[in-house]
A and B are shown apart, each in its own frame.
Chain A
């Protein structure tokens, strides 16, 4: 307890009064020692520290806790890591003001030229993503130059000549070179505009297949790998195979029957002829769209054409969970939602930080650590804390639980509110 100010050791009034009551301290005023009664009258007059606050303070101190005043400017984010941060197990950011690093850091080129180097790398990532997206786009207008080693010099030209792109990609075997892209043709099912992946010629290693067990994998094409890696060399397959579980599954007869019954109604999407005819993702989406349109033609107009339509089309496949979400009226919410926008209150405030005694946790004045709880003092005569107050105080407190100490003419009861989520059945 106590703090230093202007080079002197000072005590808060409630701390001084507590020590007086314990018989460890005498406070002199005008050369006379104060009695306990005078201590109460002189120290406990303000709203920050009334008799009720002091009763809670004394009660907790007598139980052995370390009790400090709460300072709202220190909390919430700076010193105490949030629960999410602790889950991630991030290294604690040290206060570097007074500490010199032990080892002088050598200036690596990345640290100096971070700005310039990150530019091209980020551009590279973006272009990779753009590549994959625009592959399937019917519109080849902003097609980037697909020759990977030269990505640093990517032009963002509005129209890239597709012939050059296909020529540029000649070094790789998985681009099929059929047809020149035609930017003007409409393409409902004629997917010839963009170069497509020819999956039959790309060797994807399948270590789990029983038909083909390679002894080693050949090195992939260096153009597939990130720039500076180069050729990797052949990969020995045996240690990887050891990690796989290649045993045959032996099912009992009952299980076999159950599988068969289930499979009777399960339709393998890969066996669907129309789906097999689609050659890329865009075509598949078109097929899905057409199917939905077809099913919609069967809809009764009196239901679907008016201003109020049914919530769900029974022909559509959906899960129970989605249906329940559609008819739900009350959405669940968390306690901290909208809490950051709340302004402070005169009536409700957190008064104390409570730390566990030294035997349980380490407490040092210089490094108190995370409090065990924070205390808000109220009484049964006053209003019950409403949701607004709860959100405000939980937000002010940060990651530390808030306890409400209700003082009833000398009797103290402690209450706390805990956030709770109704468990949802994930099978929906």
Chain B
């Protein structure tokens, strides 16, 4: 049995480990926490989350082109409000970090061996095809010599098949993005789900309520740190629209100095977005509490 000496292989490609069908749309989406940050790793989870209207942000390297920053790949980082909303809706669950699984070493090595055999066979086929092409080209160039060309071709192919060896170091190895394991099967996720961490302070609570309310109204929201606010509000998918609003969440009884109001209004007018000052109503119930919106927009003298 080959010991895993091939620690660094020539080409490593990343592939999702899951091949489950998309038929069941009520699958539970798995969210993994890395520290305080919620991340999502599975490609179909990402798709279903997008259909629910949660955008998130891709933060990993793109597998095919890792050394550029314009298009990034998995994992998808969620806003804490997004994750909490998904958990509240029952569509997502927090998967705890499971480190007590038995490492399936034999399974891995068997898979590696299978892959090696397959790749060897494919490589041989590839070589044969190349040889055939070269020989037929030669044959076409000298139309005169027709003596036993098929026999020669067959001999050459047999010699190739005998003498061909596929080196281990040329094997392509898969490096998985998402972890294969118990959390692989969606049914087990419900079983494993941990509780969503409850936010401690009033500010996160306000932010969540505003997020939920706006999401209920059908807007798509992303983070807006660069614009000096809490969220950017899009009328549809962010890939298709520009943002309409910058949301700034403040608590109902907090007083805001006039300089701050002016600053945020100026900022909004410079980037051609309306600023929404949002506060959630004082009640603690989940239903029926209101979110109050105040909009700031630059207007000319009428």
Seen from chain A, the residues whose Cβ lies within 8 Å of a Cβ on chain B are 18, 20-26, 28, 30-33, 35-38, 40-41, 44-45, 50-52, 55, 58-59, 62-64, 379-380, 406, 408-411, 413
Contact = CB atoms under 8 A, between A and B. Distances in A.
Contacts of B179: 35, 37-38
Interface of B: 4, 7-9, 11-14, 17, 32, 34-35, 37, 39, 41, 56-61, 63, 66-69, 74-75, 77, 79, 97, 103-105, 108, 173, 175-180, 223, 225-226
A409 B12 contact: no
Contact of B14 (A36, A38, A413): A36
A413 B178 CA distance: 28
B69 A20 contact: no
7 contacts: A23-B12, A24-B12, A26-B7, A32-B105, A33-B108, A44-B35, A62-B68
B257 to A, nearest CB: 15
A238 B41 CA distance: 87
Contacts of B32: 37, 41
A63 B68 CA distance: 7
Contact of A55 (B56, B59, B67, B68): B59
The main secondary structure of chain A at its interface with chain B is mixed
A410 B74 CA distance: 12
Given A21-B60, A37-B75, A62 B34 contact: no
A63 B69 contact: yes
A359 to B, nearest CB: 15
Highest count of chain B CB atoms <10 Å: which of A35, A55, A63, A409? A409
Contact of B175 (A18, A23, A380, A409): A23
A158 B238 CA distance: 91
B152 to A, nearest CB: 42
A38 B12 CA distance: 17
Given A26-B12, A36-B177, A37-B75, A406 B105 contact: no
Contact of A51 (B11, B14, B34, B173): B34
A303 to B, nearest CB: 42
A138 B190 CA distance: 100
Contact of A20 (B37, B57, B103, B175): B175
Nearest to B9: A26
A64 B11 CA distance: 21
B103 A413 contact: no
